[in-house]
Amino acid sequence: MYYTMKQVCDKTGFTYDTLKFYCNEGLIPNVKRDKNNYRVFDDQDVAWIESLSCLKNCGMSILEMREYVALCLKGESSIPERQKILDIKLKELDNKIKEIQQSIDYIHWKQNFYNDVLSGKTKYYSNLIKNDIISN
């Protein structure tokens, strides 16, 4: 079974322009064409396109994705190189998670501080306002 560009966009969440761009950039190799020369995709292509979405969400640039695709096309022998690429992205994502968690922790702390001030449990202070200016 073959899918049109629009059907693949509906399945993957890609915009038509993004899918076309990825095809033109060589990120979706072996794209097939129908009798009218329109791009068509099979289930294997759709699965790869979903993988590309993940790579994009991992922060891979087009250049990095191109390199990864080229390695994938080499087959099993390139697995160690692909693992290195993915290890780097995994470390970057782990760092982003830590940064996000620090931000979440700060917001929770700040919300609790505000609640304590509003309930009278804690005296208000600010790092932006000198203590002698605060008078409530």
CA distances from 37 to 4, 34, 118, 130 (A): 11, 5, 67, 70
Check: CB of residue 108 under 8 Å from CB of residue 114. no
| CA atoms of 71 and 73, how far apart (whole Å) | 5
State how many domains the chain has: 2
Distance CA 8, CA 42 (A): 9
Whether residues 47 and 87 share a domain: the answer is no
Domain that residue 85 falls in: 76-124
Is residue 100 domain-shared with residue 64, that is, in the same domain?
no
Q: Is residue 28 located within the same domain as residue 51?
A: yes
Read off the pLDDT of residues 49-75 as tens digits, 9 standing for 90 and up.
Answer: 999 999 999 999 999 999 999 999 999
Predicted confidence (pLDDT) per residue in 68-121, tens digit: 999 999 999 999 999 999 999 999 999 999 999 999 999 999 999 999 999 999
Q: Are 13 and 53 in contact (CB under 8 A)?
A: yes
User: Residue 58's domain is classified under what CATH number?
Assistant: 1.10.1660.10
How many other β-carbons are positioned within 10 Å of the β-carbon of residue 77? 8
Q: How many CA atoms are closer than 13 Å to the CA of 5, on its beta-carbon side?
A: 16
Is residue 47, in this structure, part of any structural domain at all?
yes
Of 55, 73, 91, at which residue does a domain stop? 73
In a domain, residue 131? The reply is no
